[in-house]
Amino acid sequence: MQEDTTAVSLPSASKTGASGASGRRTRITAAAAAALAAGLLLTACGGGAATPGADQPAAADPSSAANAAGNLNVCGGKDASGIYKGTAEAFTKANGKVTAKYTEIGATTDEARTQAVQRLEGKSTECDIFLTDVIWTSEFASQGWLLDQTNLVEANKDRLIPSTVETTKYEDKYWASPFFTNAGLIYYQKDKVAKPETWQQLYSEAAGAPGNSFVYQGKQYEGLTVNFLEMLYSAGGEVLDENGEVKIDSPETREVLDFMVQGLKDGAADRAVLTYNEDPARLAYESGNFGYQRNWPHVYRLLNATPLAGTFGVAPLPAWEGGKASGVLGGWNLAISAHSTNQAGAVAFIDFATTPDWQKHVAMDFSQAPVNEAAYADPEVLAKMPFATELLASVKGAKPRPISPVYPQISQAIYKNVYAVLSGTATTEDAVKTMAEELKAAKASF
């Protein structure tokens, strides 16, 4: 299954009820008023105050897996690669006491998110575990919808790649466990261009001759946010600092935007990229008329089913000249619903899914990127995924997207303004200023 970057939906009352900013404030205000009234009533009646933190989500207990039994329902989006159903079946067979099944609740990432939100807001007990996109963590955790997995993640941390663990973090706690990850790669035609070490080298070679140019995801959507951030991070820039303050208005942002614009002007990148998401970029590259392509790991298998098989190389994302390489993490995590009726079974499932042995199958059987580092060096994995070394380099060097409950609005502010610069409808300076203002407005809405 490919990385789906088409589905970062903005929270809205019509789709997710109280998950929008105004809904959050209404619900919090109402809850606070009710709590105050209850407290006054208890005090007047001599009943004492409510227990502090009583409404805080419970924490997953790593030791509970030993006594797990019963049925377990794992819910998520379309299982294109079969990894979700395959993991549930393998876990059921290996465990013997817990019977897990996979329930598809959406044909796309966007639909799956909407369905998950509806169930979580309604306190449904249907789903014990939700497959969550790495960009949902902050939103879901901030609403109190997930079980705190800090103790579980800490217990399994030695077998997990650190960058993947960071995608599960919100306000110093871990709210999910990494299942499989994703990071961008560069595919290049070995007979026309060299393996890129820097973005500047890639663009220079791409502009050097007809048929060498670079294709990437430049359409106005989440994929453009990712493509832009890959360069921004490698150039030393950032969107939010460690305190959550907006830092997008920077020399690095301007430098990257100007660089991307110049690439379109001099032919290093074809202007058609402004209409491309993942599949159109792949199909354009398959024509043989390009030298470089930025895409996800799943493209390797697809390219090998075309006449380009054996002609291309795979490289981790390059560094910015004078800087270091940095990617943007994708992937999916395992989150336990705060309303699960089988939390012990959920812990047992996560323990199984993140073991080094099963993580090998994540790569070999389902062509996904493991969250266990040892899997990348396993001979069986390398036989099925020869570019595992390059993929690991991209994963280890990658960073999460901005961590915020209002990430959808943050991403929209980025891709909308980046696209305006690339398409020529805004100057770099105006776009950077507008982007910063919109990011601040998004943060203030929560």
Q: What is the mean pLDDT of the chain?
A: 88
Q: CA nearest 87: which of 341, 339, 360?
A: 360
Q: Note the Cα 399 to chain centre separation in Å.
A: 10
The tokens for 424 are: 């020529």
Q: At 310, is the secondary structure helix, strand, or coil?
A: coil
pLDDT for the residue 53: 36
Per-residue pLDDT for 181 more than 50? yes
Residue 297 tokens, joined? 């790991």
Beta bridge partners of 132: 333
**Domain 183-328+402-444 class?**
alpha beta
In eight-state DSSP terms, residue 196 is: P
Higher pLDDT, 179 or 3: 179
- Per the CB < 8 A criterion, the answer to whether 352 and 91 are in contact is yes
Tokens of 407: 């990430």
Are domains 62-181+331-399 and 183-328+402-444 of this chain identical in fold? yes
Could you tell me what percent of the chain has a pLDDT over 90? Answer: 78
> What are the extents of the domains in the chain?
62-181+331-399, 183-328+402-444
Cβ atoms 113, 86 nearer than 8 A:
no
* Other Cβ atoms within 10 Å of 209 Cβ, number: 12
Side chain identity at residue 268, one-letter code: A
Q: What is the number of residues in the chain?
A: 446
| Structural class in CATH, domain 62-181+331-399 | alpha beta
Please write the tens of the pLDDT for every residue from 84-112.
Answer: 999 999 999 999 999 999 999 998 888 99
Q: Kindly tell me the number of DSSP H helices and DSSP E strands found in the chain.
A: 18, 12
**Above 90 in pLDDT, residue 9?**
no
Give the model confidence (pLDDT) of 353-408 as tens digits.
999 999 999 999 988 999 999 999 999 999 999 999 999 988 988 988 998 889 98
Average the pLDDT over 412-435 and give the result: 98
pLDDT at 31: 39
pLDDT at 57: 59
Contact criterion met (CB below 8 Å) for 181 and 395: yes
13 CB neighbour count, 10 Å cutoff: 13
- How does pLDDT run across 295-317, given as a tens digit for each residue? 998 889 889 999 999 999 999 99
Region class of 61: left (phi > 0), else alpha (psi between -120 and 50), else beta: beta
